Amino acid sequence: MSVLALRRNRFKSKPQSKPRWKWPTFADWRKTVRRGALLLLLAGALSALIWALDRPVRVISIDGSFQRVSPGQIEKAVAPYAKAGFMSADLAEIQRAVEALPWVDHARIARRWPNSLRVSVTEQTAAARWGESGLLNTRGELFVRAASHVPAELPRLSGPEGTETQVAQRYLSAQGRMLEAGMRIAALRLDERGAWEMDLDNGVTVRLGRRDVDERIARFIHTASQVIAHRLTEISYVDMRYSNGFAIGWRNPSAPASTPAKHPDDSDA
């Protein structure tokens, strides 16, 4: 064997032997038992503490500005969950139960030592009617489908099922511009064909059609409203469904002809 081969063999690592398994000694068993006993002791202490704190709920305090929801309704919704005890009461379940009440927009539940729950409630704000007796909030959500009392001053919105938010957003977008121009929207409708129409509080109906609705509202505010301003009591409707003008419908058929609009948009008619 060459000298080079001998040198290589000298640097080869010897195979390591696998560690042999050993039976636990008495000291090992004692350490394991001590750890287990400590864990059991901690778990027992924690259980005892929870048991001691989980006393019956004696007080349900209710906080909020109430006009449509009564504290009695809220207390009735909370009561079944409060029976579980101060610590074991499920606050998330209580919140869902309170928010399921009509006219409740948001609820916040908190524990108050030693035996009470505090319920803070924010009521819905009705921004518009929906159909005959539904109510929409400021986010365009239908929160009451059949209200027993509908404020008469609210604008009336309507449209196919599922379009509540779409109609509410268009109303909120247009109403600000109309108010700046000295007008107010009393009703806004979206029909099954997708055509829009709004009634003003002065009794005039504005026909907007299906296309370029925002642009037509702007054109009505800046142009048509100036033309009709002094004859509102004589006008039944203003038709904005024209590419180069608008038409006026008079309450009296013998009234003067409407503002010329040569080419109505047939796709909206």
Domains of the chain with bracketed CATH:
59-123 (3.10.20.310), 126-250 (3.40.50.11690)
- Using DSSP's 3-state secondary structure scheme, residue 227 falls into helix
Phi-psi region of 26 (alpha: psi -120 to 50; beta: other; left: phi over 0): alpha
Map 142-186 to HEC letters. EEECCCCCCCCCCCEEECCCCCHHHHHHHHHHHHHHHHHCCCCEE
Mean of pLDDT values over 158-163:
95
Decide if pLDDT at 123 tops 70. Answer: yes
Decide if pLDDT at 266 tops 60. Answer: no
Mean of pLDDT values over 126-137:
93
In this prediction, residue 27 carries a pLDDT of: 65
109 vs 88, more confident: 109
Decide if pLDDT at 42 tops 70. Answer: no
This prediction's pTM: 0.70
In this prediction, residue 3 carries a pLDDT of: 45
* Beta carbons within 8 Å of 126's beta carbon, 6+ residues apart: 135, 136, 137, 151, 154
Mean of pLDDT values over 257-269:
54
In this prediction, residue 29 carries a pLDDT of: 61
112 vs 46, more confident: 112
Mean of pLDDT values over 195-222:
95
CA distance 140 to 157: 10
| Torsion sign, CA atoms 193, 196, 201, 204 | negative
19-22, long-range: CB < 8 A, 24+ apart? none
CB atoms within 10 A of CB 188: 23
The owner of tokens 């009440």 is: 101
CA distance 181 to 177: 6
Mean of pLDDT values over 135-139:
92
Instruction: Show the CA angle centred on residue 170, arms to residues 167 and 172, nearest 5°.
Output: 110
- Average the pLDDT over each of 33-42, 79-88, 96-105, 144-153 and give the range with the smallest value: 33-42
In this prediction, residue 4 carries a pLDDT of: 44
In percent, how much of the chain has pLDDT > 90?
53
CA distance 243 to 253: 25
Instruction: State the burial class of residue 245 (Cβ atoms within 10 Å of its Cβ: 0-12, 13-18, 19+).
Output: middle
Average pLDDT, the chain: 83
